[in-house]
């Protein structure tokens, strides 16, 4: 099993590019790779950034982790362990670490759930979900990304209207990193086909009415006809946790 609790600091080779040069690189790649296959986009990212490239995964499935591992065995897969996950999500994380040739890295917030309750009051997620996400998701990812120049995510354009314009490669100005979304153009059918072809691990909650899986208190099952992310922060106008802005 490949599993760590913090990023591996072993000599990650940093290219001598300025932020401006890297932004231009990302913009150019986003245009040139727009119609490229997902595997080709991953090959570009691996060839460009090497071991300063990481994958982020919510552990709803292992599609992107598997896809990248076929090009870059042993790639770092960052998992944000918020302390609020479903048991099924933690189980999927452990299975991914055992089954695939990836290095799963558990990213934890600086405060435990109990410490956060003491500092901000119990169940911050119910009163200020933006602050809760900032503390338990955004800050840990930002800290971890200091060891990388680029990150690969599983964002897809057909998930929500706000993601419809997701580039396959872009400049993440907030973090000063390159963001790669190799399956941005995929449909649900494309994902299903990849899962079937490769026998990809899935979070069991996907078979129990959860189309999008986040933290347990802020996630519910969706009903027929609802958007796939309708079960996230139900009853509020919130659609994103802050990782993708």
- Residues serving a catalytic function are 241
Element (H, E) at 79: strand 75-80
CA distance 222 to 50: 39
CA distance 153 to 167: 11
Quickly count: other Cβ atoms within 10 Å of residue 97's Cβ. 20
> Exposed (0-12), middle (13-18) or buried (19+): which is 120, by Cβ within 10 Å?
middle
Roughly what angle, to the nearest 10 degrees, separates helices 38-49 and 19-32? 160
> Exposed (0-12), middle (13-18) or buried (19+): which is 72, by Cβ within 10 Å?
buried
Torsion of CA 151, 22, 27, 39, to 10 degrees: -40
Question: Do 143 and 114 contact (CB within 8 A), yes or no?
Answer: no
């Amino acid at each position: 099993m490949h599993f760590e609790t913090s990023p591996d600091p072993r000599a990650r080779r940093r290219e001598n590019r300025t932020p401006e040069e890297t932004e231009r690189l990302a913009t150019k790649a986003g245009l040139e790779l727009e119609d490229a296959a997902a595997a080709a986009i991953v090959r570009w990212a691996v060839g460009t950034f090497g071991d300063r490239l990481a994958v982020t995964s919510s552990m709803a499935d292992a599609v992107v982790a598997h896809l990248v591992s076929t090009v870059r065995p042993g790639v770092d897969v960052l998992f944000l362990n918020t302390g609020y996950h479903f048991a099924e999500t933690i189980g999927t994380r452990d299975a991914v670490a055992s089954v695939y040739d990836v290095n799963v890295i558990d990213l934890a917030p600086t405060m435990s759930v109990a410490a956060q309750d003491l500092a901000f009051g119990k169940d911050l997620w119910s009163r200020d979900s933006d602050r809760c996400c900032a503390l338990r998701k955004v800050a840990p990812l930002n800290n971890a990304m200091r060891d990388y120049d680029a990150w690969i995510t599983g964002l897809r354009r057909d998930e929500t209207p706000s993601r419809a314009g997701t580039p396959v490669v872009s400049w993440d100005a907030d973090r000063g990193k390159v963001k790669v979304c190799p399956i941005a153009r995929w449909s649900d059918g494309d994902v299903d086909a990849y899962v079937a072809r490769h026998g990809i691990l899935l979070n069991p909650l996907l078979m129990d009415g959860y189309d999008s899986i986040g933290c347990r208190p802020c996630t519910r099952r969706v009903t027929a006809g609802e958007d796939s992310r309708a079960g996230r922060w139900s009853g509020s106008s919130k659609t994103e946790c802050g990782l993708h802005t």
